[in-house]
Amino acid sequence: MTLRSPWVWLRYGRRQIYPWMTLALAGWQWVVECGIDRDRAAIRWMATLAKIDGAKLTAFLNDLIW
């Protein structure tokens, strides 16, 4: 295992977690913010939700169930 390997795995993990973390943070901001910041959080939440691949998520959940 080279020194570069952990960085590759961290980058891969960050790319896999990024949409979910953004979705959680924007959802929280949507609840607690008010005014224009609340509108921005709502737009950010909806845009992030559109980026998540629904087919992969459905296939993953189907594998978990069966």
What are the residue ranges spanned by the domains of the chain? 8-65
Q: What is the pLDDT of residue 52?
A: 78
- On whether the CB atoms of residues 49 and 22 are closer than 8 A, the answer is no
Q: How many CB atoms lie within 10 A of CB 61?
A: 10
- How is residue 51 annotated by DSSP? H
Q: Which two tokens stand for residue 33?
A: 């913010």
Q: Please give the biggest Cα pair distance in the chain.
A: 50
In whole angstroms, give the CA distance from residue 47 to residue 19.
10
User: Is pLDDT above 70 for 2?
Assistant: no
pLDDT at residue 20 in the model: 82
Residue 1's pLDDT is: 53
Q: What pLDDT sits at residue 3?
A: 60
**Which tens digits make up the pLDDT trace of 8-59?**
777 777 777 777 888 888 889 888 989 999 999 899 888 888 887 777 778 8
